[in-house]
């Protein structure tokens, strides 16, 4: 099995370095035409220049690939529209969107300004929603699209000092939970990456010896699969240090406690059964959970 992207066009946001650069280079090696998007700001989102994106374009061209640079902010409506227009003018289609751009503004919640919370949510959540919204009609008309969003272990499980980042990163997971359903009829598949990598974003959170083990190149193979023609949809792959796992939201089987005499005390008395995950169930859509609740409430009728 060989995964190729000949004739395909990919946009990678935040591709001027780190994970995005690695994804862009590998897509190009496998035949994709790549739009390298990067605002060029610092880790906290301040400043802007297009040199990083241009440098990655030159790397791709040196490999014999085809690429163009774009310096738009993923939070700016006009900038996103310009990125999509630039791509369509150059290549006439958009097959893949990798939402990778991000910033950090870490502080404990008690010390965090609402402005810093809002900015991180804007970049990670709305900076994923806006490019996706812009390419969706194009992919729908083509009858083909592959979208990847980037979550984090912080969003899945939490991390001190990152309430803003965690909220945004779980938000993109929820975003894909509905995209996977709405995209099915048009062959648009949406998936989630939870990377563990040593990049500019994480360099001061990890020891230097982690750099080689946690290189972005050890994450990118998961991305290539998740945006390939045979990709699944609605799947979250966790990747780092050559290790690959999958994360998903599951729900305990639950217990029917009655209706007429239902009290908080009954919930407390049965909390062990309520939180028993030995028969946990993953659902593809919310309606499946509703069905389970009716089944339990009616004794399986």
All structural domains of the chain with their residue ranges: 9-246, 250-297
Q: Band the pLDDT of 259: cuts 50, 70, 90.
A: confident
Burial of 111 from C-beta contacts in 10 A (0-12 / 13-18 / 19+): exposed
**C-alpha to C-alpha distances, 156 to 42, 150, 163, 169, 298, nearest whole angstrom:** 25, 12, 12, 8, 33
Q: Let me know if 198 is a catalytic residue.
A: no
The reported pLDDT for the residue numbered 207 is 63
Instruction: Using the predicted structure, report yes or no on whether residue 43 has a pLDDT greater than 90.
Output: no
The span from the CA of 293 to the CA of 242, in Å, is 40
pLDDT value for 41: 53
Beta bridge partners of 158: none
Residue 37: enclosing H or E segment and its boundaries? strand 33-37
CB atoms within 10 A of CB 65: 19
DSSP symbols for 259-288: STT--HHHHHHTHHHHT--TT-EE-SSHHH
Topology classification of domain 250-297: Helix Hairpins (1.10.287)
Give the rounded percent of residues in the chain with a pLDDT score beyond 70: 93
Q: Which helix (H) or strand (E) holds 295?
A: helix 286-297
State which fold the 9-246 domain adopts.
Rossmann fold (3.40.50)
Q: What percent of the chain has pLDDT over 90?
A: 87
Marked catalytic residue, from 165, 173, 198, 225: 165
Instruction: Tell me the CB-side half-sphere exposure of residue 249, using CA atoms within 13 A.
Output: 14
Question: Is the pLDDT assigned to residue 40 strictly greater than 80?
Answer: no
162-209 confidence digits (pLDDT tens): 999 999 999 999 999 999 999 999 999 999 999 997 755 555 555 666
């Amino acid at each position: 099995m060989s995964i190729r992207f000949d004739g395909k066009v990919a946009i990678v946001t935040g591709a001027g370095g780190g994970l995005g650069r690695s994804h862009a280079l590998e897509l190009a090696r496998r035949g994709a035409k790549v739009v390298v998007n990067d605002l060029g700001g610092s880790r906290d989102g301040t400043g802007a220049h297009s040199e990083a994106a241009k440098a990655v374009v030159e790397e791709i061209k040196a490999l014999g690939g085809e690429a163009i640079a774009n310096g738009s902010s993923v939070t700016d409506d006009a900038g996103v529209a310009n990125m999509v227009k630039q791509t369509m003018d150059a290549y006439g289609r958009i097959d893949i969107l990798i939402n990778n751009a991000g910033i950090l503004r870490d502080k404990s919640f008690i010390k965090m300004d609402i402005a810093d919370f809002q900015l991180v949510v804007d970049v990670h959540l709305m900076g994923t929603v806006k490019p996706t919204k812009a390419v969706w009609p194009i992919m729908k008309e083509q009858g083909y699209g592959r979208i990847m969003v980037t979550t984090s272990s912080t969003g899945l499980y939490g991390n001190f000092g990152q309430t803003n980042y965690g909220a945004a990163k779980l938000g993109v997971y929820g975003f894909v939970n509905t995209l996977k359903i709405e995209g099915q009829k048009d062959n648009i598949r949406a998936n989630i990456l939870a990377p563990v990598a040593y990049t500019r974003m994480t360099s001061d959170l990890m020891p230097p010896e982690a750099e080689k083990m946690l290189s972005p190149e050890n994450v990118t193979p998961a991305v290539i699969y998740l945006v390939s023609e045979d990709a699944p949809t609605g799947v979250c792959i966790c990747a780092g240090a050559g290790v690959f796992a999958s994360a998903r939201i599951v729900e305990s089987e639950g217990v029917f406690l009655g209706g007429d005499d239902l009290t908080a005390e009954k919930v407390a008395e049965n909390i062990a059964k309520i939180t028993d995950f030995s028969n946990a169930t993953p659902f593809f859509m919310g309606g499946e959970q509703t069905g389970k609740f009716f089944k339990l409430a009616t004794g399986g009728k």
